Amino acid sequence: MSKIVFFDIDGTLVNEEKEIPLSTVEAVKALQAKGIFVAIASGRAPFMLHEIAEKLQIDSFICYNGQYVVFEGKVIYENPLSQEALDRLITTTMKNDHPLVFSAAEEMRVNLPDHPGVLEGMNSLKRGYPRVDAHFYRGREIYQCLLFCTEDFDSFYAEAFPEYSFMRWHDVSVDVCPANGSKARGIRELIKQLGFKMEDTYAFGDGLNDIQMLQEVGTGIAMGNGRPELKKVADYITESVDEEGILKGLQHVGLL
């Protein structure tokens, strides 16, 4: 295998209904049949990948926007959040009534109950309200938080917490990750295991958290339904997820 393709999930492999189009399933299988390595690069937790991974027969993942990397079922890289900064973040968000979902390797918990923002955000992922445990982060590695606030708070949190990066994935929520972490960083860790060259890497994405990934790989492909900011850095813009965007993109770059 001399080439590898990284796929984001939401808005890329799956549509708004969280369904994988048949053309995408067939395209991924065709890549694998040709000996092209396929991996997932997502902001999702590893325990939120099982159904998609099984359907697509993928066992290598970049999770939590690059903070937790799995190569053929084995964890090869971890980049948890700073505990000291997390304590400060919790204090600040509590004052603003902004809930946090703490995401560890195997499960997640939220620190505030019955918050409409959390309900809206988690429903968009087709997941229920997480169990409430305000102290879940203590004594365990937390790789990412979901901070529930509106966009007008983005600059406030970015300035107050330079240790972290804040990437908006929903009108009501941002991903909170280490400032030195990204999908691009996760990709570098994974291709070390394979001995690939960066020019032989490809990536598909649609969101703001895919910008660094598309800039890092040899060929970056933005979905037609993707954010305008992402399309500006892409090498190619394919069709939307429901318009055979994955298949057409792979055909355009000559992988299929």
Return the active site residues: 8
Taking alpha carbons only, the member of 255, 195, 253, 246 closest to residue 56 is: 246
- Amino acid, single-letter form, for residue 87: D
* Run of H or E including 220: strand 219-222
Q: How far is the CA of 228 from the CAs of 23, 141, 174, in angstroms?
A: 24, 34, 18
Q: How far is the CA of 18 from the CAs of 14, 127, 253, in angstroms?
A: 5, 11, 26
Q: Which residues of 46-65 are buried (b: 16+ CB within 10 A; e: fewer)?
A: bebbeebbeebebbbbbbbb
CA 174 to chain centre: 12
CA 224 to chain centre: 18
Measured over all CA atoms, what is the biggest interatomic distance in the chain, rounded to whole angstroms? 54
Rounded Cα distance, 216 and 155, in Å: 25
Taking alpha carbons only, the member of 20, 7, 105, 88 closest to residue 55 is: 20
Rounded Cα distance, 69 and 61, in Å: 6
